[in-house]
A = this chain, B = another copy of it.
Amino acid sequence: MEPDPLSQHSGSLMRRLNIVVVQRDFPVGDVAGNAERVISALGEAAALEPDLVVFPELTLTGYPPEDLLYRRGFLRRCDQALVEVVDAVRGTDALIGHPLARDGRLYNAVSWAREGRVIGRYAKQALPNYAVFDEKRYFEPGREALTVEVGGVRVGVLICEDIWEELPALRAAEDGCELIVVPNASPYHLDKRARREAALTERANDSGKPIIYGNLVGGQDELVFDGRSFAAEPGGRLIGPTPAYADGLFAFEYSREGVRALNWEPDGPENPLAVIYQTLVRGTRDYVLKNGFEKVLLGLSGGIDSALTLAVAVDALGAEHVKAVMLPSRHTSDLSLELARAQARLLDVEVETISIEPTYRAFLKSLGLGGQDPGVSGENLQARCRGAALMARSNASGAMVLTTGNKSELAVGYCTLYGDMCGGYAPIKDCVKTRVYQLAEYRNTLSPAIPAGVIERPPTAELAPNQVDQDSLPPYDVLDEILARYVERDESVEDIVAAGFDPDTVHRVARLVQLNEYKRRQSAPGIRITPRAFGRDRRYPISNRWLP
Contact = CB atoms under 8 A, between A and B. Distances in A.
Contacts of A538: 67
A38 to B, nearest CB: 15
A47 B381 CA distance: 56
A28 B545 contact: yes
Given A424-B518, A544-B29, A363 B380 contact: no
A13 interface: no
A367 B389 contact: yes
Contacts of A389: 363, 366-367
For chain A, which range describes its interface: under 10, 10 to 19, 20 to 34, or 35 or more residues? 35 or more
Interface string A172-212: 00000000000000000000000000000000000000000
Contacts of A31: 546
Contacts of A55: none
Given A359-B359, A494-B73, A366 B391 contact: no
A493 interface: yes
Contacts of A545: 27-30, 33, 290
B490 A72 contact: yes
Contact of A221 (B65, B418, B543): B543
Closest 10 CB pairs of A and B: A73-B492, A29-B546, A30-B545, A362-B362, A377-B395, A290-B543, A418-B418, A29-B544, A384-B388, A29-B545
Given A30-B546, A367-B389, 4 more contacts: A73-B495, A129-B136, A359-B359, A384-B418
21 contacts: A28-B543, A64-B541, A66-B540, A68-B540, A68-B541, A73-B495, A73-B548, A134-B134, A134-B539, A287-B543, A290-B545, A291-B518, A358-B362, A367-B389, A380-B395, A384-B387, A384-B388, A384-B391, A418-B418, A521-B525, A522-B524
Interface of A: 27-31, 33, 64-68, 70-74, 76, 129-130, 134, 136-137, 219-221, 286-287, 290-291, 354-356, 358-359, 361-363, 365-367, 369, 374, 376-377, 380-381, 384-385, 387-389, 391-393, 395-396, 417-418, 422, 424, 490-495, 518, 521-525, 538-546, 548
